[in-house]
Amino acid sequence: MNSAQSICGQKILNTLILPPTSLDGHWCHPSFPLQGLFARNHKRIFTKSITMDESQLPTPASTAEGRLHRYWPARNLTLFEYLPGSHVDSKSDTITPNTLIVIGGLYDGFLSVPYVPKLASYINLCPQWSLMEIQLSSSGLGWGTGDLHRDAEEIAHAVGYVRERSQNGPFERGSVVLMGHSTGSQNVLHYLYHKSEQGRPPIDGAILQAAVSDREGLAMMREQDPLVQRAYEECLRISLASEADSSQGKINVLPPEPTSVFGWSRGPVSCKRFLSLASPSSPTQPGLDDLFSSDLSNDTLSRTFGAVGLSPYMRPGMTSERKLLVLLSANDEYTPTTVDKKELIRRWAAAVEAGGALMASQSDVIAGASHNVREQEAQYDLTARVLNYLGDIVGGIPEAIDQKLENDRRKYVNQNTIRQA
């Protein structure tokens, strides 16, 4: 089996990225049905303040054309590279120098983040760029027994695979940018600030999209539903009692009854991962996953966001500076309404800049956007900011693409206005 498989119009409907062992080694075979169940979001929605016109929301993509790469054969882990249909059929060996790798959140798999196909469609218009989605052992149901350390190890393998593939082509140096959605943002920041004894290949840019606090999201749910509070207390009791086992490498899994109250009813959740996400000792001693809570101290932020400037895992861009892009959603249903998102970005920017890096000028709160940016107009805004950022730090984004994107956005707005009239 070659490390890259073309999927010519293969239907990837409701994709579930299971741990590789459960697929019995057949993951990359083109005749193996890539079908199952997935949930786009892992948390229950309790807030009633968000209203959306469902007619404005796009139908989630169920089909994508592209190439499947096996970047770590030993773990049977894959990258899916989006390609326009003509590339699949006639340019199956095309290699671009620059790649944007998208990392999904909890329960995510290929095609589960709604804005990615649109973003890929514009990146595919840029001859020097491609977009790939990554499968980790923690994708789909695997997140509950994984952690950010294992994720970083696997992401490093993917970055190395992409970089080696680019250098084996006609390019002396290719660029790799990581973009995290939701918990994927924790993966990206962890990749940059947390030191690895094995080392990691450096990246050229980093994007945090929908960087939210699981701890604050759980707190919001607990305040609104006594049943959630009781389930939380039970999970916390069990998890704290198992810490000694976790420190010895044992995996103790929480019972499904209380975790299902959080919406975590599909797949096992370990006590260790629960404590990492719920982070009961925060804000003084935040768990590994607690990177984006609004009450974290400036000193804590200096050790995470502030480490980007000197990170050996990120190369300076064209302006000889390291830049971080942060895109939050104005209507993120998993962020408490008491959190000032612009102030959060300001604090993160202060920590980044104190450490010698820069917060990208495109960083902002996207108007009208939900957590996973299902809204069409918000997707255009996100796509424009990402393309502009890639052009700033690496280059290779033609001005004509920016103009086409703006024209397409205006056309959509006009059509939607007429539809609503």
Token pair, residue 312, equals 């050996």
- Per-residue pLDDT tens over the stretch 161-214: 999 988 776 666 789 999 999 999 999 999 999 998 888 999 999 999 999 999
Task: List C-alpha distances in Å: 48 to 303, 331, 334, 337.
Answer: 36, 11, 12, 11
User: ω before 60 within 30° of 0 (cis)?
Assistant: no
Per DSSP bridges, beta strands 175-181 and 98-103 are: parallel
- Per-residue pLDDT tens over the stretch 277-335: 999 999 999 999 999 999 999 999 999 999 999 999 999 988 789 999 999 999 999 99
> Could you give the percent of the chain with pLDDT greater than 70?
81
The DSSP line for 1-13 is --SEEEESS-B-T
Distance CA 252, CA 373 (A): 34
Q: Indicate the range of 211-225, 232-246, 350-364 predicted with least confidence.
A: 232-246
* Length of the chain in terms of residues written: 421
Decide if pLDDT at 414 tops 80.
yes
CA-angle at 137, arms to 135 and 139, nearest 5°: 55
pLDDT for res 30: 28
pLDDT for res 27: 26
Domain positions in the chain are 4-212+296-420, 216-278
Distance CA 132, CA 69 (A): 9
- Per-residue pLDDT tens over the stretch 25-50: 222 322 222 222 223 333 333 322 22
The DSSP line for 51-81 is ---GGGSPPPP-B--EEEEEEEGGGTEEEEE
Decide if pLDDT at 9 tops 80.
no
Which three-class secondary structure state does DSSP give residue 126? coil
Task: List C-alpha distances in Å: 289 to 143, 149, 188, 211, 276.
Answer: 12, 10, 12, 11, 5
pLDDT for res 7: 37
Inter-residue contact 383 to 327 (CB < 8 Å): no
Which three-class secondary structure state does DSSP give residue 118? helix
Inter-residue contact 188 to 206 (CB < 8 Å): yes
Q: Give 51's pLDDT tier (boundaries 50, 70, 90).
A: very low
**In the predicted model, what is the mean pLDDT of the chain?**
84
Kindly report whether the global pTM for this prediction surpasses the value 0.95: no
Decide if pLDDT at 132 tops 60.
yes
Which three-class secondary structure state does DSSP give residue 177? strand
Q: What mean pLDDT do residues 222-234 have?
A: 95
pLDDT for res 35: 28
Q: What is the CATH number of domain 4-212+296-420?
A: 3.40.50.1820
Distance CA 43, CA 219 (A): 12
Beta bridge partners of 323: 358
Q: What mean pLDDT do residues 378-395 have?
A: 97
Beta bridge partners of 4: 69
Q: Give 13's pLDDT tier (boundaries 50, 70, 90).
A: very low
Q: What mean pLDDT do residues 214-237 have?
A: 95
pLDDT for res 62: 72
- Per-residue pLDDT tens over the stretch 63-114: 889 999 999 999 999 999 999 765 444 445 678 899 999 999 999 999 999 9
**Kind plus residue range of the DSSP H or E element containing 413:** helix 399-420
Contacts of 309 by beta carbon, 8 Å cutoff, 6+ apart: 322, 352, 353, 355, 356, 357
Token pair, residue 157, equals 């393998």
pLDDT for res 169: 62
- For the four alpha carbons of 77, 145, 116 and 205, in that order, the dihedral sign comes to negative
Token pair, residue 229, equals 């509070």
pLDDT for res 197: 84
